[in-house]
Structure 1
Amino acid sequence: MASDRDSYANWCEPSSLKRGDLLEVSRTLFTHYGIYLGGEKVAHLMPDILPLLTDDQKLIREVVTNQRLVLGVICRMASIRVDSVEDFAYGACVLVNHMDSVCKKPVLPGEEVARRAEKLVGSTEYSLLWNNCEHFVTHCRYGTAVSIQTDKVQFRAHPA
Structure 2
Amino acid sequence: MLDTLIFLLEKFFFFCFSFLSSSPCCRYVGHAPAPPPPPLPHAAVLRRGDLLEVPRTLFTHFGIYLGNNRVAHLIPDILPVVTSDARLLRRKVTNTRLLLGVLTKRASVRVDSVEDFAYGARVLLNAMDRAVSRRALPGEEAARRAECLLGSAPYSLLWNNCEHFVTWCRYGAASSLQTEQFCQWLKSLIRDQRNVVLAALLGLLSLTYLGVSSGTTLPAIIIPFTLWMAS
Alignment-derived partner of residue 148 in structure 1: 177
Counterpart in 1 of 2:49?
Answer: 20
In 2, distance between residues paired with 1:8 and 1:27? 15
Go from structure 1 to structure 2 and tell me whether the alpha carbon gap of 1:120 and 1:87 turns closer, same or farther (over 3 Å shift).
Answer: same
Higher deviation after alignment, 64-73 or 96-105: 96-105
1:11 is matched with which residue? Answer: 39
Aligned-partner Cα distance in 1 for 2:119–2:70 = 13
Structure with the bigger percentage of strand: 1
Aligned alpha-carbon RMSD (Å): 1.4
2:131 counterpart of 1:95 = no
Instruction: Work out which of the two has the higher radius of gyration on C-alpha atoms and give 1 or 2.
Output: 2
TM-score when scaled to structure 1? 0.92
- SS state of the match for residue 130, structure 2? helix
Structure 2 Cα separation of the partners of residues 36 and 27 of structure 1: 19
- Cα distance in 1, alignment partners of residues 100 and 59 from structure 2: 18
Deviation at 1:110, TM superposition (A): 0.3
Contact 1:20–1:114, Cα closer than 8 Å, also in 2: yes
1:44 lines up with 2:84 in the alignment: no
Identity of aligned residues (%): 60
CA offsets 1:44-95 (integer angstroms, 9 cap, x no match): 0000000011011110110101110011001100000000101100111111
Superposed CA offset, 1:71-127 (max 9, x none): 100110000000010110011111102422321002100000000000100000100
CA change 1:116–1:58 in 2 (3 A) is same
4+ long deviations beyond 2 Å: 5-10
* Equivalence map 1:56-135=2 (5 Å): 56-135=85-164
Unaligned runs of 5+ in 2: 1-32, 192-231
Higher relative contact order (CA 8 A, sep 6+): 1
Distance in structure 2 (CA, Å) of the matches to 1:133 and 1:26? 13
Residue 135 of structure 1: how far off its partner (Å) = 0.3
Cα deviation, residue 150, structure 1 = 1.1
SS of structure 2 residue aligned to 1:9: coil
